[in-house]
């Protein structure tokens, strides 16, 4: 289970989100002729949302909650109105009745994608100061410390659990103080949504028709995340399954945000319950996975880069066990010199267990070339 922390400007917006059980990122500038990397990054975050994930809100140093993302009809994210993925200018008066999260103002057109949630267990009006949240479990927080100049961030199971716990503790004697939630809005949306509201990652990207390469690396992130989150068979055959997946995950010691290293795509998969005769009480992690992306031609430096991430994951997540890590480089073209560099340095020797110690070799870096298929509106992959 993941968690999302959304940034809002005022309590009125918070009250509105909680009352309707709906959130949509507002894009300040509606005068543009292409999706830039910032907006593609926001859509990439939406693409990985799934029912059961928690949602919180951050206003002026304080975190409020708790919501749980839910499906309305068939999905938990939708376009706010048909053609919301289009860059064409639309007339508000002509489509106002088709807008899901509608405040009866023309700026509603600037909210392109929305997600839905319910109280879990309540929308507490008593928020928790950010410093108190971070100090409640300091060793767990990685992404929350990087909440800076972003519409929202995604946190993994451990961070989500820590945020959930501190909010519950602070409200255990204050359950009557909560924001109102009205189920009617979800019912209205359920009656409205159809295929014209469906979120398709391909609608937000551009590509080179000759090389079939995605124009921006953030757009490439969006496409891969969306296909993985929707269990696309081609992605599953290359990358395997993910129980948690995110992008732009911190991969360096804490320092000024603008200088932090970030993994393009990071996630993990749980040990499959079918491996055991009984249901597991917890979700032990089987594999941590990191994917480094290059929209065009990869060079030798990308191998050095991803191996730095592998070492970081070994230290920060895998308790020294390289065997829990899988790594991938995805590029439109991977030259032979990159393959040679991978064969030279993409291996690690390590020891597991104490009595007796066991020596192991890690060589789980896979090189993958991608091409965008305009007919299917999906990426196609081939292992190099």
Query: Residue 42 is part of a domain; what is its CATH number?
Result: 3.10.590.10
Cis peptide before 66 (omega within 30 of 0): yes
Three-class secondary structure of residue 206 per DSSP: coil
Per the structure, the count of domains in the chain is 2
**What gap in Å lies between CA 220 and CA 41, rounded to an integer?**
10
- The domain that contains 363 carries what CATH number? 3.40.1350.10
**What gap in Å lies between CA 366 and CA 15, rounded to an integer?**
47
- DSSP letter string, 129-164: EHHHHHHHSTTT-SSGGG--S-SEEEE-HHHHHHHH
Residues 190 and 263 in one domain: no
Query: Furthest-apart CA pair in the chain: how many Å?
Result: 73
Residues 170 and 262 in one domain: no
**What gap in Å lies between CA 38 and CA 143, rounded to an integer?**
18
Whether 213 shows a pLDDT value over 60: the answer reads yes
Structure confidence at residue 252 as a pLDDT band (50, 70, 90): confident
Residues 374 and 234 in one domain: yes
Residues 136 and 251 in one domain: no
Residues 184 and 237 in one domain: no
Structure confidence at residue 130 as a pLDDT band (50, 70, 90): very high
Residues 167 and 288 in one domain: no
Cis peptide before 374 (omega within 30 of 0): no
In this prediction, residues 94-100 reach a mean pLDDT of 95
- What's 19-82 look like in SS3? HHCEEEEECCCCCCCCCCHHHHHHHHHHHCCCCCCEEEEEECCEEEEEEEECCECCECEEECCC
With a pLDDT cut of 70, the percent of the chain lying above it is 98
In this prediction, residues 209-230 reach a mean pLDDT of 97
**What gap in Å lies between CA 12 and CA 266, rounded to an integer?**
35
Q: Give 44-72 pLDDT, tens digit per residue.
A: 999 999 999 999 999 999 999 999 999 99
Of 135, 167, 197, the position where a domain reaches its end is 197
Residues 166 and 256 in one domain: no
In this prediction, residues 325-346 reach a mean pLDDT of 98
Distances (CA, A) of 281 to 44, 52, 153: 31, 17, 28
Residues 58 and 149 in one domain: yes
Q: Give 261-278 pLDDT, tens digit per residue.
A: 999 999 999 998 777 777
**What gap in Å lies between CA 39 and CA 111, rounded to an integer?**
12
Of 197, 227, 249, the position where a domain reaches its end is 197
Structure confidence at residue 217 as a pLDDT band (50, 70, 90): very high
DSSP assignment letter at 371 = E
Whether 285 shows a pLDDT value over 60: the answer reads yes
Pairing state between β 3-7 and 54-59: parallel
Residues 176 and 316 in one domain: no
Residues 211 and 182 in one domain: no
Domain residue limits at 174: 3-197
Angle 164-245-270 (CA atoms, 0-180°, nearest 5)?
80
What number of residues does the chain have?
Answer: 384
Task: Name the token pair of 267.
Answer: 């996630």
Q: Give 166-200 pLDDT, tens digit per residue.
A: 999 999 988 788 999 999 999 999 999 999 999 99
In this prediction, residues 230-256 reach a mean pLDDT of 91
Q: What is the pLDDT of residue 334?
A: 98
**What gap in Å lies between CA 233 and CA 378, rounded to an integer?**
11
Query: What is the signed CA dihedral for 117, 121, 125, 131, rounded to 10 degrees?
Result: -90
Structure confidence at residue 355 as a pLDDT band (50, 70, 90): confident
Instruction: Please state the φ and ψ torsions of residue 343, each to the nearest 5 degrees.
Output: -65, -25
Q: What is the CA radius of gyration of the chain?
A: 22
Q: For residue 6, which of 151, 129, 157, 161 has the smallest C-alpha distance? A: 151
Q: What is the pLDDT of residue 36?
A: 87
Q: What is the pLDDT of residue 32?
A: 59
Residues 342 and 215 in one domain: yes
What rounded mean pLDDT belongs to the chain? 93
Residues 180 and 233 in one domain: no
DSSP assignment letter at 106 = G
Q: What is the pLDDT of residue 104?
A: 86
Of 147, 178, 197, the position where a domain reaches its end is 197
């Amino acid at each position: 289970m993941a968690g999302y922390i959304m940034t809002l400007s005022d309590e009125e917006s918070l009250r509105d989100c909680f009352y309707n059980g709906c959130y949509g990122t507002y894009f300040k500038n509606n005068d543009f002729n292409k999706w830039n990397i910032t907006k593609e990054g926001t859509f990439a975050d939406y693409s990985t949302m799934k029912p059961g994930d928690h949602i919180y809100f951050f206003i002026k140093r304080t975190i409020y909650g708790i919501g749980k993302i839910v499906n309305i009809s068939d999905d938990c994210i939708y376009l706010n109105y048909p053609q919301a993925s289009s860059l064409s200018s639309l007339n508000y008066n002509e489509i106002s009745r088709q807008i899901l999260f509608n405040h009866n103002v023309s700026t509603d057109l600037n909210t392109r994608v929305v997600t839905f949630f319910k109280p879990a267990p309540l929308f507490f009006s008593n928020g928790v100061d950010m410093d108190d949240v971070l100090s409640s479990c300091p060793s767990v927080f990685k992404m929350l410390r990087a909440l800076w100049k972003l519409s929202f961030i995604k946190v993994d199971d451990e961070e989500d659990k820590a945020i959930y716990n501190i909010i519950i503790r602070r409200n255990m004697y204050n359950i009557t103080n909560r924001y109102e939630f009205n189920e009617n809005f979800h019912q209205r949306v359920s009656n409205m949504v159809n295929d014209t509201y469906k979120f398709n990652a391909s609608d937000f990207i551009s590509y080179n028709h000759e090389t079939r390469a995605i124009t921006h690396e953030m757009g490439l992130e969006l496409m891969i995340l969306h296909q993985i989150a929707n269990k696309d068979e081609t992605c599953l055959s290359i990358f395997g399954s993910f129980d948690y997946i995110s992008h732009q995950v911190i991969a360096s010691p804490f320092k000024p945000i603008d200088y932090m290293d970030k993994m393009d795509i990071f996630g993990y998969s749980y040990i499959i319950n079918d491996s055991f005769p009984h249901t597991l009480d917890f979700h032990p992690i089987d594999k941590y996975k990191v994917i480094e992306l290059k929209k065009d031609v990869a060079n030798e430096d990308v191998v050095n880069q991803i191996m730095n991430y592998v070492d970081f994951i070994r230290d920060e997540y895998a308790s020294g066990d390289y065997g829990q890590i899988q790594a991938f480089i995805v590029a439109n073209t991977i030259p032979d010199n990159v393959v040679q560099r991978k064969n030279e340095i993409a291996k690690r020797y390590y020891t597991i267990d104490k009595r007796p110690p066991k020596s192991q070799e890690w060589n789980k870096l896979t090189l993958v070339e991608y091409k965008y298929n305009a007919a299917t509106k999906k990426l196609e992959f081939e292992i190099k």
